[in-house]
Structure 1
Amino acid sequence: MMRWLLFIPLALALALGVLFWIGLGKEDKDVLPSPLVGQPFPAFNAVALLTDEALDQSSLPAKPMLVNVWATWCPTCKAEHAFLNQLAKQGITIVGINYKDDSAKAREWLKAFGDPYAFNIVDPDGKLGLELGVYGAPETFLVDSQGIIRGKHVGDLNTRVWQTLQPQFEAMK
């Protein structure tokens, strides 16, 4: 009579297994939720990589842009760099954040591989990255003309990813 109680743990385990399996199929590992989406780009005080000019949030262009977190020590950043050059040639404004990197190496990198950036913010200690909730490089933020973060992508930006982000970027114009 009480034997049916033995099947309750099995039924619960099966139900949890099905929910877990369904959840795995829907997760996009490149898009991480960010509490900053819908919020202004964080305040910062830094210098420009190539000019040593003082920069702050008012230095950001008043138009839709991509803000790309990158570093020379990041192999995935090198993989995405050619695509960033293509986007820049198409007129997409890209601001770089050189994250926890050696500035001399970063300048050499841009000389060797091309410079798709309107300018680069030097973030040697990762303070701005921390404010942005950066997990590592590369990461790219979609920022509108008012300086509001509208999206975040973790990992390399490539043709496949851009096809999903471009409509959102175009809607910011």
Structure 2
Amino acid sequence: MSATGNRKFRWLPLAVFGAIAALLAAGVWMSRDPDRDALPSPLIGRPAPQFELPVLHEPDRLLGSEQLLGAPYVLNVWGSWCPGCREEHGVLTRFAEARRVRVIGYNWKDERADALRWLEQFGNPYWAVLVDYEGHGAIEWGIYGAPETFLVDAAGIVRWKHVGPMTDDDIREGLVPALEALQTPGARE
């Protein structure tokens, strides 16, 4: 091929690469899900897993799912090692201060001293903090990371789940409507 012919096709590999990159970018953009953190859970609409775990501030005391029946509660999975937990902590604290519902902390795979220090430093928004040092109870909940948050109704049925750090929008548009649905007569079977 002549020198003129080589120049004509010199940009072809770059053009092909650019076209492939544009297609990949379009695919990623089109597959974005605004509710990506609202992962479906097989627990929604089903009884919450039975548990009995030690209380962080009273290690000799156990608190279990049976004792939480009778009023709804929010179960927030967190750990002192979790950057997302720190990110959502102020949001969760403001929500807990409204006292609309009990907020139960589920300290997951953490050292007791680290968890206590973390709560002392950032504040304790929880009605009670359960500890799952080994993470065995989390398996029943389907927990695979922190933070995760569940709403459980008075009968012990899981009604809502959020994966990842909660924002004020998540609480306003997800948790609060789910909580209000529990308070609407006939809204739940």
TM-score normalised per structure 1: 0.83
Deviations 1:17-51 (A, max 9, x none): 9xx77972446210111111111111112110111
After TM superposition, the structure 1 = structure 2 runs for residues 50-89 of structure 1, keeping only pairs within 5 Å, are 50-52=57-59, 53-60=61-68, 62-89=70-97
- Aligned partners of 1:144 and 1:23: how far apart in 2? 36
Deviations 1:77-132 (A, max 9, x none): 01111111111110132001000001111011111111111101110111111110
Match for 2:103 among 94, 100, 105? 94
Residue 44 of structure 2: aligned partner: 37
Give 2:78's aligned amino acid.
Answer: W
After TM superposition, the structure 1 = structure 2 runs for residues 1-173 of structure 1, keeping only pairs within 5 Å, are 24-26=31-33, 28-52=35-59, 53-60=61-68, 62-91=70-99, 92-165=101-174, 166-173=176-183
Q: Which moved more, 1:36-45 or 1:54-63?
A: 54-63
Structure 1: stretches of 5+ with no match in the other structure: 1-16
Task: Call closer, same or farther: CA 1:129–1:38 in 2, change over 3 Å.
Answer: same
Query: Secondary structure at 1:35's aligned position in 2?
Result: coil
**Structural RMSD (CA):** 1.8
- Aligned partners of 1:82 and 1:26: how far apart in 2? 26
- Aligned partners of 1:99 and 1:90: how far apart in 2? 25
Query: Secondary structure at 1:122's aligned position in 2?
Result: strand
- Aligned partners of 1:97 and 1:38: how far apart in 2? 21
Deviation of 1:61 (Å) = 5.2
- Aligned partners of 1:72 and 1:97: how far apart in 2? 11
- Aligned partners of 2:56 and 2:29: how far apart in 1? 45
- Aligned partners of 1:26 and 1:136: how far apart in 2? 20
Query: Secondary structure at 1:172's aligned position in 2?
Result: helix
Structure 2: stretches of 5+ with no match in the other structure: 1-23, 184-189
- Aligned partners of 1:125 and 1:23: how far apart in 2? 39
